Structure 1
C-alpha cells in the first residue's frame, strides 16, 4: 500500500471546532495549529487474512496482541510499542507496518500512508502429526491452512502434506479436538535498527529507564547502559528522551 489522499483545510478546521465546543472561538484557535501541522507516525495493523496461528501473540514482548479466535483475527492493542516483531513473525505477511505522514499544502491537508517493508524470520516445521483417535474430520484445519497443505478425504482423517506445511500452527489453534501436534523452529528476530546513546548529551533523568517496556536500559552512575539482548528497538526511549540523547538508526 502506498496511497495519498487529502481533505480541505477549512473542512478539517470545522470538524475540529465541532469537537471542541467547550472552547471559545474554537475554529479560530485551531487555524494556526493546522497551518503548521506536520505529523509523522507509524502504526501496526492485522488484515483479515490472518490465519489464526497466534504466532504473533506468542512472540509479542509486551503482550500487546489479543489472540485470534475462530471467528476473528488477532488484534493489536493500545499498549503496542511498534517494535515490529509481530510483522517479522507472521508467516502469511498479514501484519502491516504503516508509515503515516500529514502536512498542509496550500488549502489542503494531505495524508500519506505507506506499507513499510519488513524482513521475515525463518519458520520451519520439524514435525507435525494428526492423532487419528481425536480427529473428527471436520475440515476446520483445511479452511485456515494458508498453503493448502491439509486435505480431508471422504470418510478419512486430516492428511497433511509435510512438504507444503510451513509450520505456522494455524491448524493446531483452530482444531476443536486438539488432534494436531506440531513441533516447529522459529528463527531469531532480524535487527534492522540500532539504538545509539549520546552519553555527552544525556542528562541522567532516567526517563528512558522508567519507560523501557522490557527493562533493557539502565542508568549506572552517569552512563546509560543498554542490554542488547533485551532491547527490542521499539522507539519508546528515543521518543521520550527529553534531550534527544537516544536515537534509532537503520542498519
Structure 2
C-alpha cells in the first residue's frame, strides 16, 4: 500500500475544534489555528484476516495485543511500542506496519501512508496431534486453518495433513475442547535496525532508562549502557531523548 490523500485545512480545523469541545468541561467554543508542520508516525494494525493463532499475543514483549477469540481477531492496544515483533511473527502476514506522514500547509492537509516490508521469522511445525478423547468434531479448527490442512469427515475426529500444516497454532487456540496438541519451532527475531548511542551528546538525564519498557538501557556513571539481548528496538528511548543522543537506524 502506498496511498496519498488530501483534506482542506479549514475542514480539518473544524474537526479538531469539534473534538476539543467534547473534551472541555466548559461550553466555550474552541478556536485555534493549526500551524504549518510535518508529522511522522508509525501505525501497526491487524487485518480482519487474522487466523486467531495468538502467536503475536504470545510474542509481544510488552503485552500490547489483546487476545483473539473465534469471534474476533487480535487487536493492538494503546501501549504498543512499535517494535514490529508481532509483524515478524504473524504467519499469514495480516499484521501491517504503516508509515504515516501528514503535511499541513496554508490550504490543505496531505496524508501519505506506506506499507513497510517486514521480514518474517522462521515458523515450522514439528509435531501436531488430535486427542480422540476430546475432539467433538465441531470443525471450528477447519474454519481458521490458513492452509486448509484440517478436515473433519462426517462422524470422525479432525484429521490434519502434516505436510500442509505450518504450525501457526490457530486450531489449538480456537478448539473449544483443547483437543489439539502442537509442538513448533519459532526462529529468533530478525534485527533490521540498530540503536546508536552518542555518549558525547548524552546529558545523563535518565529519560531513556526511566522509559525503556524492557529495562534494556541504563545510565552507569556518565555512560549509557545498552543490553543488546533485552533491547527490542522499539523507538521509545530514541523518540523521548531530549538531545538526540539515541538514534534508531535501519541496518
Given the two structures, how large is their TM-score scaled by the length of structure 2?
0.95
What is the distance in 2 between the residues matched to 1:94 and 1:161?
23
Structure 2: state its 5+ residue gaps: none
What is the distance in 2 between the residues matched to 1:193 and 1:39?
22
What is the distance in 1 between the residues matched to 2:47 and 2:17?
33
Deviation for aligned residue 1:23: 9.6
What is the distance in 2 between the residues matched to 1:128 and 1:78?
35
State the match for 2:92 in structure 1.
92
State the match for 1:30 in structure 2.
33
What is the distance in 2 between the residues matched to 1:75 and 1:144?
17
What is the distance in 1 between the residues matched to 2:194 and 2:27?
43
Deviation for aligned residue 1:37: 2.1
Instruction: Map 1:46-65 to 2 at 5 A.
Output: 46-65=46-65
State the match for 2:115 in structure 1.
115
Contact 2:37 2:105 in 1 (8 A): no
Matched, 1:78 2:81: no
What is the distance in 1 between the residues matched to 2:156 and 2:214?
48
What is the distance in 2 between the residues matched to 1:226 and 1:171?
39
Q: Deviations over 1:89-139 (max 9, x none)?
A: 000111111111000355221111111110000000000001111111111
Deviation for aligned residue 1:196: 0.3
Structure 1: state its 5+ residue gaps: none
Deviation for aligned residue 1:86: 0.3
What is the distance in 2 between the residues matched to 1:133 and 1:18?
59
State the match for 2:210 in structure 1.
210
What is the distance in 2 between the residues matched to 1:218 and 1:154?
60
What is the distance in 1 between the residues matched to 2:237 and 2:106?
35
Cα RMSD of the aligned pairs, angstroms, is 1.5
What is the distance in 2 between the residues matched to 1:156 and 1:20?
59
Deviation for aligned residue 1:20: 4.0
What is the distance in 2 between the residues matched to 1:163 and 1:52?
21
What is the distance in 2 between the residues matched to 1:16 and 1:142?
46
Instruction: Map 1:231-246 to 2 at 5 A.
Output: 231-246=231-246
What is the distance in 2 between the residues matched to 1:25 and 1:87?
42
State the match for 1:184 in structure 2.
184
The count of corresponding residues between Structure 1 and Structure 2 is 247
What is the distance in 2 between the residues matched to 1:235 and 1:194?
10
SS at match of 2:224: strand
Residues 20 and 180 of structure 1, relative CA distance in 2, 3 Å threshold? closer
Contact 1:214 1:230 in 2 (8 A): yes
SS at match of 1:30: coil
